[in-house]
Structure 1
Amino acid sequence: MNLDLFSVMVMTALVVNTSGVLFIVETIIRRDEGAGRIWSIGFLAAMLTTIAYVLWTEMPGVAWPIAVGNAAFVAGTGCMWLGARAYNGRRMVAASAVVVLAVGGAALATMLDPVGGDWAGATWMFLALVAFAGLGAAECLRGALLESRTAWVLATVLAFQAIYFIARTSAFLIAGPDSTLFQGVFGTGNTAMLTVVLTIVAVVVTSVLRASRAPVRGYGPVAHGDRKDGIVPIAAFERDLSDVCSRAAWRSDLVGVIAIRVEDLDQISTAFGSEVARAVTDAWRAGVRRHAPSNAIVGEDGPTGLLVAMVADSPATARRNAGVIYRGLFDDLGKVGGGVLPVVGVGVSLSDTAGYDTEALVRIARDAARRAAASVETSVLVGDER
């Protein structure tokens, strides 16, 4: 069955707008913030893109629908990158300015293109899409997103978009937009079909990622010195640990860091609801604080991790303290969430092997906790400097 261009664009607009509306409505209902809001802006831009291109098919020779569509297309992909940066807690001002400039540049390039026509400003738009899709894919493979396997799917979607538009740009510049190669492989119809598939996948993935943040929202970074439920922010924890290490080094005392990671919070939130995930999170945080040694420092370590710093009499004492935390957490988590138990991994690092380097102690404990969470043999592992 062959569809004319108008029918293809209407079908694309229907799918994209339906997906976008669902995501935006859910964002409003959840009173989401941060990455969810930025992704909502991205889907809103995608909706505007499809509407503008539908108008373009019915208004041949008019430049402004193309300019609006190109600019909104760039804005939508740029917001996917910005949302990933917000999810990872990275700075947004400079990146946001880059996206705004690129969106303005796409509109101006279209309106001022000396050749004009249906492909006015296409080169600028293609290059911007390649850049933002590539940056978004890279951002999904770092920080908090790297710890979520769901984010790997979003990275794949954005990477595929970047690769596709690299090929499309090459065909556009080398063979031309009227060539058989470009029209047969990278034409508007094929690109519209690809957009439908990628949009559906992106909506599902970003919805899951947003849901994974629901149980931990409200536990974000706090000001230095402000202890929220007895747990200090990561910056304050690292400063306190550095001070402990510097004093312990003089006396050759043993410093230990215990990392506690809770996996599957995003799956629990999606399958059983944010209330169950919130209860599990509250029990986990309170349990670590309750079962840690009374003189220990407890600090944040991202949305699914906590760190405990202490001075121990011996390596055996440090390992025993880690075991007490794990067993206590297992009992506490069994009492909440209707029997839903997340995967818990506990890792330990010691200054007798890692030295009194704060970064090394934290890094080794984190790595050991990740391996413990993935291990079927043990849930408490002692890391070693390699």
Structure 2
Amino acid sequence: MDLDLTSVLVMTALTVSVSGAVFITDTVVRRDDAVGRIWAGAFLAGPLALLAFLVWAQERSAWWAVAVGNAAFVSTISMMWLGCRRYNERRMAVAAAGVVAGAVLAAGAVLVAGPDGGDWAGARTMYLLLTVFGVLGCVECLRGALRATRVAWALAVVLMLHSAFCLLRLVVFAVAGPDSGFFETWLSTIPASFVTVILTIVALVTASVLRAGRVPVRGLRSLSGARGRTAAEMARATGADSGVLVAEQFWIALQGLLTRASWHNELVAVFAVRVDDLQRIATAFGTEAAADVARAWRQSVRHHVPAAARVGEDGPSALLVSTVVVSAADARRAAERISQGAFEDLRTVPGAVLPTVGVGVALTDDQGWDAAALVACARAASVGGEAIADAADGLDPTRP
């Protein structure tokens, strides 16, 4: 098949642009979420890269377009990795600086070569950066909360294959040059465009599914509403005393509990309880059905936690619980009560669709008195639970 460069670039740009538009539009109709915003940036950088390369293909005097394209292409992969780090609740400052540095290096390599750099100006630097960020993204998909989400495995595989492709391009480019027959046939811009299309489609599907599990559409708000609302305001919004603290209030209460418990060397347990199917229920049966399930689930969690426990918001489909326990076995029994209680209570909701509920536990014996570490471990343990009736079957409260 004889394909010309301009046609392939146009079709690739069209595919990447449509995919980016779909994801960004979906981001607009959902509540703000840092992961979604970062990935939206990646889907914006992709069309920019293809547009820049298309400009270069049409006007060879516009050598600066290669610098823009290389930097945008590197940003696409690096921001996918950055979004995965944010999904796993990992530190972002150094990683974000690395993303910016990668884009600057990719553009700088072309600018240093200048107008005489030709078609492949800065190619080695770009291939190296794409390989590094692709491997980092693959590793991030296989750790933390993403590791328990099987859809992230597909993204990990594609990122690894893309990294292998870029590494092969780098090696062949350095050894045989871009004019070699092998490079022109298998590793030039045209085959690379097909690889880009595959990566874009898989990234769109996986990112959309992963984001859907974190953020509801605007019609399916968390029952507590906006940040900063008091318990009384929440009660008025839901028509009953929800007994669930907003996130800021819960974190203040948790820090106070940890401080007091440390004075007496008491054991504190943090439970993360999440429901994974609200978005699917809303899509299949309507937002009203999903809201009924969410309301019953929240009331059930509050009913079955220990009497002295504090329950707080942790996003639209998760709750956090903190309490003092006697032992790890006591924490396990509490988790089982929450899981089994939720199952029984949701069965009584008329027309309810039983969602998947995960319960994770973190103990100060293992994680110390750091509130952030306890919550992160409990969240990670709650992801990817079994069916609601069996959510606590494999729970080890001594393990994050």
TM-score by length of 2: 0.77
Residue of structure 2 in register with 1:107 after alignment: 107
Residue of structure 2 in register with 1:146 after alignment: 147
Q: Give the alignment of 1:129-140 within 5 angstroms.
A: 129-140=130-141
Residue of structure 1 in register with 2:237 after alignment: none
Deviation at 1:141, TM superposition (A): 2.4
Residue of structure 2 in register with 1:56 after alignment: 56
When structure 1 is superposed on structure 2, of 355-364 and 169-178 the one drifting more is 355-364
Identity of aligned residues (%): 45
Q: Give the alignment of 1:355-366 within 5 angstroms.
A: none
Give the residue type in structure 2 aligned to 1:309. T
Could you tell me how far apart the structure 2 residues matched to 1:314 and 1:162 are? Answer: 43
Give the unaligned 5+ runs of structure 2.
235-242
Could you tell me how far apart the structure 1 residues matched to 2:35 and 2:143 are? Answer: 15
Residue of structure 2 in register with 1:191 after alignment: 192
Deviation at 1:133, TM superposition (A): 1.7
Deviation at 1:340, TM superposition (A): 1.6
1:121 aligns with 2:138: no
Could you tell me how far apart the structure 1 residues matched to 2:60 and 2:251 are? Answer: 57
Deviation at 1:206, TM superposition (A): 0.9
1:293 aligns with 2:312: no
Deviation at 1:79, TM superposition (A): 1.7
Residue of structure 1 in register with 2:238 after alignment: none
Give the residue type in structure 2 aligned to 1:36. G
Residue of structure 2 in register with 1:206 after alignment: 207
Distance 1:25 1:236, change over 3 A: same
Could you tell me how far apart the structure 2 residues matched to 1:363 and 1:38 are? Answer: 20
Distance 1:269 1:66, change over 3 A: farther
Deviation at 1:286, TM superposition (A): 3.2
Could you tell me how far apart the structure 2 residues matched to 1:382 and 1:39 are? Answer: 32
Secondary structure of the corresponding residue to residue 3 of structure 2: coil
Could you tell me how far apart the structure 2 residues matched to 1:324 and 1:15 are? Answer: 49
Could you tell me how far apart the structure 2 residues matched to 1:154 and 1:255 are? Answer: 37
Distance 1:310 1:196, change over 3 A: same
Distance 1:42 1:276, change over 3 A: farther
TM-score by length of 1: 0.79
2:261 to 244, 249, 255: 244
Give the residue type in structure 1 aligned to 2:177. G
Could you tell me how far apart the structure 1 residues matched to 2:147 and 2:56 are? Answer: 39
Deviation at 1:82, TM superposition (A): 2.0
2:38·2:80 contact (CA, 8 Å) conserved in 1? yes
Deviation at 1:60, TM superposition (A): 2.6
Residue of structure 1 in register with 2:165 after alignment: 164
Residue of structure 1 in register with 2:245 after alignment: 230
1:301·1:307 contact (CA, 8 Å) conserved in 2? no
Residue of structure 1 in register with 2:356 after alignment: 343
Residue of structure 2 in register with 1:283 after alignment: 296
- Please report the RMSD computed on the Cα atoms of aligned residues, expressed in angstroms: 4.1
Could you tell me how far apart the structure 2 residues matched to 1:56 and 1:145 are? Answer: 38
Deviation at 1:330, TM superposition (A): 1.9
Residue of structure 1 in register with 2:43 after alignment: 43
Give the residue type in structure 2 aligned to 1:71. A
Distance 1:14 1:173, change over 3 A: same
Distance 1:167 1:312, change over 3 A: same
Deviation at 1:119, TM superposition (A): 0.3
Could you tell me how far apart the structure 2 residues matched to 1:314 and 1:193 are? Answer: 52
Deviation at 1:283, TM superposition (A): 3.4
CA shift digits 1:14-56 (9 cap, x unpaired): 1111111111122222253311122112111111111111222
CA shift digits 1:134-161 (9 cap, x unpaired): 2222222233323322222222222222
Q: Give the alignment of 1:307-318 within 5 angstroms.
A: 307-311=321-325
Deviation at 1:193, TM superposition (A): 0.8
Secondary structure of the corresponding residue to residue 62 of structure 1: coil
1:262·1:305 contact (CA, 8 Å) conserved in 2? no
1:46·1:73 contact (CA, 8 Å) conserved in 2? yes
Secondary structure of the corresponding residue to residue 309 of structure 1: strand
1:237·1:298 contact (CA, 8 Å) conserved in 2? no
CA shift digits 1:188-243 (9 cap, x unpaired): 111101111111111111111111112497689x89xx998237656853762574
How many residues are matched? 378
Give the unaligned 5+ runs of structure 1.
none
Deviation at 1:262, TM superposition (A): 3.6
Give the residue type in structure 1 aligned to 2:148. E
Could you tell me how far apart the structure 2 residues matched to 1:288 and 1:374 are? Answer: 16
Distance 1:28 1:384, change over 3 A: closer
1:325 to 333, 338, 359: 338
Distance 1:234 1:184, change over 3 A: farther
Could you tell me how far apart the structure 1 residues matched to 2:25 and 2:263 are? Answer: 52
Distance 1:67 1:214, change over 3 A: same
When structure 1 is superposed on structure 2, of 119-128 and 323-332 the one drifting more is 323-332
Residue of structure 1 in register with 2:21 after alignment: 21
Deviation at 1:169, TM superposition (A): 0.8
Could you tell me how far apart the structure 1 residues matched to 2:333 and 2:53 are? Answer: 64
When structure 1 is superposed on structure 2, of 56-65 and 272-281 the one drifting more is 272-281
Secondary structure of the corresponding residue to residue 214 of structure 2: helix
Secondary structure of the corresponding residue to residue 27 of structure 1: helix
Distance 1:209 1:381, change over 3 A: closer
When structure 1 is superposed on structure 2, of 298-307 and 52-61 the one drifting more is 298-307
Could you tell me how far apart the structure 1 residues matched to 2:181 and 2:84 are? Answer: 37
Residue of structure 2 in register with 1:176 after alignment: 177
CA shift digits 1:156-201 (9 cap, x unpaired): 2222222211111111111111111211211111110111111111
CA shift digits 1:262-320 (9 cap, x unpaired): 444565466556665555444333321222121224467786464453445996x7666
